[in-house]
Amino acid sequence: MSHKPEIISTETYETDAKWLRLQRIKYRDQEGKERFWEVANRSTRKGAVDSVHILALIKQEGERGVVLIEQYRPPVEATVVEFPAGLLDEGEDPATTALRELHEETGYQGDGVSVVSVSPVMVKDPGMTGANMHLVTVQIELPPDAPPPQPKLDDGEHIVKRTVPLKELNAVLKDYEKRGFAIDALVQSVATGLGLAE
Amino acid sequence: MSHKPEIISTETYETDAKWLRLQRIKYRDQEGKERFWEVANRSTRKGAVDSVHILALIKQEGERGVVLIEQYRPPVEATVVEFPAGLLDEGEDPATTALRELHEETGYQGDGVSVVSVSPVMVKDPGMTGANMHLVTVQIELPPDAPPPQPKLDDGEHIVKRTVPLKELNAVLKDYEKRGFAIDALVQSVATGLGLAE
């Protein structure tokens, strides 16, 4: 006999952490049995989804490239190769967040920059956290002689931007790994999908 | 003047959680300034890496398919479409974990099942957790008339296995979303990479 699983209650462990909370979920499993599961969540979520990540595809002189950023991340004690990303503001739709964050982190905006698609809600590590996101694909059409734009970084934000030809993405990620960078799971998975198609 | 960022100390918030821990990192940023960051980590890590996820590619009668599983995940209160996956045992190499977990969760093993590649270390949500993994690509060659194998599920494990033709992956994920499933970020990102190549 199989039931639809359901959450019975959620208890938050008391800490003085500000941005994250550790919780214990009591739920009923498929056999009707009560079980517990521990979960970490952001305390910053404003709506149903935490964040957007941006697959920014540059088209210039017939070549296709993808925009990556390098950013130091204390939780993994490493500089991580990621897609540009950001948290959704209250009531904001994912396409708007994506265009705002892309502008702030990389400088790209305006004519020739458009949202192509917004992914289904994606969960990042559903065995451990409730963290979720959309992957927003943005097309950037650049004239042949366009200079790279300047990002609008906040004080204390240290982000290095890089554009990589799509066909070199897997090789570039291997090189990053050799040089001690960590690779974000989204970036490596997109590269793996690209490689599968070859 | 830019410094290499470094962790100064890590303090664990006291809770009676068993599988997860919430921590506060004190680190020095690129400007030499002391800052704090909150992070959630698994308490189960045995070595340098938490887990493997398995991109299992089936080749049968010239068609290529990928193995997905459906599994209820309390942290996201939904049934999630994921790749087969599992935590690394102590001293275990990622390829061994991948073959063991693939067998347990899907039944595939033995002749015709081989590890093709192991990704660089990938970080799953480096703004929030230290969680990391390898994506292990496994090739499964099946004769035309091979029946689907039986998984070896533990008591209380409820996993539904499904094989999807690679060329239908994006459409299948959209359909899953419509039916109320959550999509794992790795699966959607591989599908997005595949789509890019078209």
**For chain A, what percent of residues have pLDDT higher than 70?**
99
End-to-end C-alpha distance for chain B, whole angstroms: 45
A101, A125, A157: best mutation site toward chain B, by most B Cβ within 10 Å?
A: A125
Cβ of B190 and A192 within 8 Å? Answer: yes
pLDDT in tens, A15-59: 999 999 999 999 999 999 999 999 999 998 888 999 999 999 999
Contacts of B119 in chain A (CB under 8 A): 183, 188, 192
Count H helices and E strands in chain A, helices first: 3, 12
Cβ of B119 and A196 within 8 Å? Answer: no
Question: How much is the pLDDT for B165?
Answer: 96
Whether the predicted pLDDT of B91 surpasses 60: yes
Please say whether the beta carbons of A86 and A101 come within 8 A.
Answer: yes
- How far does Cα B56 stand from its chain's mean position? 12
Helix, strand, coil percentages in chain A from 3-state DSSP, rounded to 5: 20, 40, 35
The Cα–Cα gap between A140 and A157 comes to 24
Pairing mode, strands B182-184 and A122-123 = parallel
Please say whether the beta carbons of A17 and B38 come within 8 A.
Answer: yes
Whether the predicted pLDDT of B156 surpasses 90: no
A70: closest chain B residue by CA: B126
pLDDT in tens, A82-100: 999 999 999 999 999 999 9
C-alpha dihedral sign at A164, A97, A46, A72: positive
Question: How much is the pLDDT for A1?
Answer: 54
A35, A134, A188, A198: best mutation site toward chain B, by most B Cβ within 10 Å?
A: A188
B93–chain A nearest CA distance, Å:
18
Size of interface A-B (CB pairs under 8 A): 249
B75–chain A nearest CA distance, Å:
5
Cβ of B198 and A194 within 8 Å? Answer: no
Mind giving me the DSSP string for B59-104?
EETTEEEEEEEEEEEGGGTEEEEE--EEEPPTT--HHHHHHHHHHH
Cβ of B129 and A128 within 8 Å? Answer: yes
The Cα–Cα gap between B129 and B147 comes to 41
Residues contacting B36, CB < 8 A, separation 6+: B24, B25, B26, B27
Please say whether the beta carbons of A128 and B75 come within 8 A.
Answer: yes
Which has more confidence, B150 or A76? Answer: A76
Residue whose structure tokens are 């952001």:
A42
Contacts of A194 in chain B (CB under 8 A): 193-194, 196-197
A28: closest chain B residue by CA: B74
B18, B128, B177: best mutation site toward chain A, by most A Cβ within 10 Å?
A: B128
Question: How much is the pLDDT for B174?
Answer: 96
The Cα–Cα gap between B192 and B186 comes to 10
Cβ of B7 and A120 within 8 Å? Answer: no
C-alpha dihedral sign at A159, A162, A163, A166: negative
Q: What is the CA angle A36-A39-A44, rounded to 5? A: 145
B62–chain A nearest CA distance, Å:
15
Question: Which letter, b or e, does each residue of A90-99 get, where b requires 16 or more Cβ atoms within 10 Å of its Cβ?
Answer: eebebbebbb
The Cα–Cα gap between A186 and B187 comes to 9
Please say whether the beta carbons of B180 and B78 come within 8 A.
Answer: yes
Cβ of A129 and B127 within 8 Å? Answer: no
B16, B31, B196: best mutation site toward chain A, by most A Cβ within 10 Å?
A: B196
Which has more confidence, A73 or A155? Answer: A73
Whether the predicted pLDDT of A157 surpasses 80: no
CA-to-CA dists, residue A172 to A68, A175, B38, angstroms: 11, 5, 30
The Cα–Cα gap between A73 and A80 comes to 7
Cβ of A74 and B37 within 8 Å? Answer: yes
| pLDDT category of residue A161 using cuts at 50, 70 and 90 | very high
pLDDT in tens, B19-56: 999 999 999 999 999 999 999 999 988 889 999 999 99
Query: Which domains are seen in chain B, by residue range?
Result: 6-42 (no CATH), 51-196 (3.90.79.10)
Contacts of B27 in chain A (CB under 8 A): 74
Here the ipTM equals 0.95
B196–chain A nearest CA distance, Å:
7
Pairing mode, strands B51-60 and B34-42 = unpaired
**Mean pLDDT computed over every residue of chain B:** 93
The Cα–Cα gap between A69 and A102 comes to 11
The Cβ of residue B146 has, within 10 Å, a number of other Cβ atoms equal to: 12
Question: How much is the pLDDT for B51?
Answer: 96
Pairing mode, strands B182-184 and B85-87 = unpaired
Cβ of B135 and A189 within 8 Å? Answer: yes
Q: Which of A177-186, B59-68, B131-140, B146-155 is the least confident region?
A: B146-155
| pLDDT category of residue B1 using cuts at 50, 70 and 90 | low
Whether the predicted pLDDT of A153 surpasses 80: no
The Cα–Cα gap between A75 and A70 comes to 15
The Cα–Cα gap between A35 and B10 comes to 31
Cβ of A190 and B188 within 8 Å? Answer: no
B87: closest chain A residue by CA: A127
Mind giving me the DSSP string for A179-198?
TT-EEEHHHHHHHHHHHHT-
Cβ of A190 and B193 within 8 Å? Answer: yes
Cβ of A183 and B156 within 8 Å? Answer: no
Please say whether the beta carbons of A80 and A69 come within 8 A.
Answer: no
Q: What is the CA angle B141-B71-A132, rounded to 5? A: 110
Question: How much is the pLDDT for B122?
Answer: 97
Q: Which of A41-50, A66-75, A148-157, B83-92 is the least confident region?
A: A148-157
